[in-house]
Amino acid sequence: MMRLKYYLVLTLLLTSSGWAIEDEAATPVAQLSLDDLRSFTDVFNQVRSNFIEEVDDHTLLNAAIRGMLSELDPHSSYMEADRFRQLENNSQGRYTGIGVEVVIRDRKIVVVAVKDEGPAQKAGVTFGDVITSIDGSAIGGRNLQMAIDSLRGELGSEVTVSFMRKNGEVSEHVLLRDYVNINSVFSRPVDEDYGYFRVTHFTRNSAEELLEQIEHMKEQFNRPMLGVVLDLRGNPGGVLKPAIDMADGFLDQGLIMYTRGRAPNQLEFSASPGQWLDAVPMVVLVDRGSASASEVLAGALQDQGRAVIVGEKTFGKGSVQSVLNLRNGSGLRLTTSRYYTPSGRSIQAEGIIPDVEIVPFELVEDTDARKREEDLERHLSGERQISPRISSSEVSANDDYAMHQALILLKAANKFSAAGRQAVDG
4 pLDDT band, cuts 50/70/90, is very low
* Position 92 confidence tier, pLDDT thresholds 50, 70, 90: confident
As a whole number of angstroms, the distance between CA 133 and CA 14 comes to 48
Per-residue pLDDT band for 183 (boundaries 50, 70, 90) equals confident
From the candidates 115, 129, 303, 346, give the one annotated as an active-site residue: 303
| Residue-level pLDDT at 352 | 97
The DSSP letter of residue 369 is: G
> Rounded mean pLDDT of 372-397?
50
Give 98 or 20, the one with higher predicted confidence. 98
| CA distance linking residue 92 with residue 94, whole number of Å | 6
Give the model's confidence band at 369: pLDDT under 50 very low, under 70 low, under 90 confident, else very high. Answer: low
Query: Would you call 278 a catalytic residue per the annotation?
Result: no
Backbone angles phi, psi at 204, to 5 degrees: -65, -20
pLDDT at 307 over 50: yes
3-state secondary structure of 131: strand
246/99: higher pLDDT: 246
Instruction: Identify the DSSP state of 184.
Output: -
Residues of the chain with pLDDT > 90: what percent?
A: 49
What structural domains and CATH numbers belong to the chain? Answer: 2-55 (no CATH), 97-181 (2.30.42.10), 185-421 (3.90.226.10)
Q: The pTM is what?
A: 0.74
Which residues, 6 or more positions from 411, have their beta carbon under 8 angstroms from its beta carbon? 226, 227
Instruction: Write the single-letter amino acid at 276.
Output: W
- In this prediction, residue 265 carries a pLDDT of 84
The pLDDT value recorded for residue 370 is: 58
Q: Give pLDDT tens digits for 59-91.
A: 998 899 999 998 999 889 998 877 777 777 666
For residue 132, pLDDT over 80 is answered with yes
pLDDT in tens, 210-263: 999 999 999 888 888 999 999 999 999 989 999 999 999 999 999 999 999 988
Average pLDDT over residues 174-195: 90
Cα–Cα distance between 282 and 409 in angstroms, integer? Answer: 9
pLDDT at 28 over 60: no
Q: Which residues pair with 96 in a beta bridge?
A: 179
What are phi and psi for residue 101, nearest 5 degrees? -105, 135
Whether pLDDT at 190 is above 70? yes
Closest Cα to residue 253, out of 271, 268, 279? 271
**Known catalytic residue: 150?**
no
Q: Please give the C-alpha separations between residue 16 and each of 10, 20, 21, 196, in angstroms, as whole numbers.
A: 10, 9, 11, 53
Catalytic residue, from 292, 294, 330, 346: name it: 292
Mean pLDDT (the chain, rounded): 83
Task: Select from 85, 104, 83 the least CA-distant residue to 147.
Answer: 104
* Residue 403 neighbours by CB distance under 10 Å: 21
Q: Is 23 a catalytic residue?
A: no
Taking only Cα atoms into account, the Rg of the chain, rounded to an integer number of angstroms, comes to 26
Catalytic member of 317, 319, 330, 346? 317
In three-state secondary structure terms, 93 is: coil
Task: Label residue 393 by pLDDT band (50, 70, 90).
Answer: very low
| Mean pLDDT within 148-154 | 86
Kindly report which listed range (66-70, 336-340, 364-368) carries the lowest average pLDDT score: 364-368
Distance CA 388, CA 384 (A): 10
